[in-house]
């Protein structure tokens, strides 16, 4: 059985990765399974453990890091987020394609573990447009706005390191670009 492909979706903070992820997951042709992250962040209303995230305490998360059970992990706003390695390995070994949505700095560790993964960086049409979006989403929280703007600037500085940069001026167009590359890779591996 051929191994599945790991597709990494990254990008600037608040650029619209979630909307792109939903459209990619809805496309049955790519046979994508979503990699659920582990987090120490409290569950928000409506979120389900094991669906949105695996909600763990700091001690459990530290154990995962110590035991090298995460492909990558990061901290944001005082909470930790990480990608469970066993889940990804299980799926790709079953021939399933896995979509991992991570912060830009998480891509390097994943690529080290899974060199043939395909990484995409989602860029805004302009920083001004992204700034407007962040202000709309977090309008009542100036500290959050400032943190996210600073993070977005840092993320966008990493973007040139990515082979595949996709602009999110139109989510459908961004999804089509990603799909074309993934389908080409699937075909290549099928014929290998």
CATH number at residue 108: 3.40.50.300
Residue 103 belongs to a domain: yes
Q: Domain tally for the chain?
A: 1
Residue 1 belongs to a domain: no
Residue 106 belongs to a domain: yes
pLDDT at 192 over 80: no
Per-residue pLDDT of 3-35, as tens digits, reads 999 999 999 878 889 899 999 999 999 989 999
In sequence order, which residues have a C-beta less than 8 Å from that of residue 64 and are 6 or more positions away? 38, 56, 70, 73, 82, 84
Sign of CA dihedral 39, 33, 52, 20: positive
Residue 175 belongs to a domain: yes
pLDDT at 40 over 90: yes
Would the pTM of this model clear 0.85, i.e. be above it? yes
Per-residue pLDDT of 54-110, as tens digits, reads 999 999 999 999 999 999 999 988 999 999 999 999 999 999 999 999 988 889 999
3-state secondary structure at position 134:
helix
Quote the domain boundaries for residue 43: 6-190
């Amino acid at each position: 059985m051929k191994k599945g492909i790991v597709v990494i979706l990254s990008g600037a903070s608040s650029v619209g990765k979630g909307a792109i992820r939903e459209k990619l997951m809805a496309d049955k042709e790519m046979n994508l399974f979503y990699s659920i992250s582990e987090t120490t962040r409290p569950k928000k209303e409506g979120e389900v453990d094991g669906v949105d995230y695996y909600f763990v305490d700091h001690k459990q998360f530290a154990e995962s890091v110590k035991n090298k059970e995460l492909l990558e992990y990061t901290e944001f706003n005082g909470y930790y987020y990480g990608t469970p390695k066993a889940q990804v390995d299980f799926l790709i070994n079953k021939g399933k394609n896995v979509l991992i949505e991570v912060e830009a700095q998480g891509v390097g560790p994943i690529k080290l573990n899974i060199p043939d993964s395909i990484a995409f960086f989602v860029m805004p049409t302009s920083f001004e447009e992204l700034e407007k979006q962040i202000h709309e989403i977090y309008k009542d929280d100036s500290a959050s706005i400032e943190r996210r703007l600073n993070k977005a600037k840092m993320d966008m500085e990493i973007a040139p390191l990515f082979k595949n940069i996709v602009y999110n001026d139109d989510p459908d167009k961004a999804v089509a670009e990603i799909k074309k590359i993934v389908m080409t890779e699937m075909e290549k591996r099928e014929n290998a």
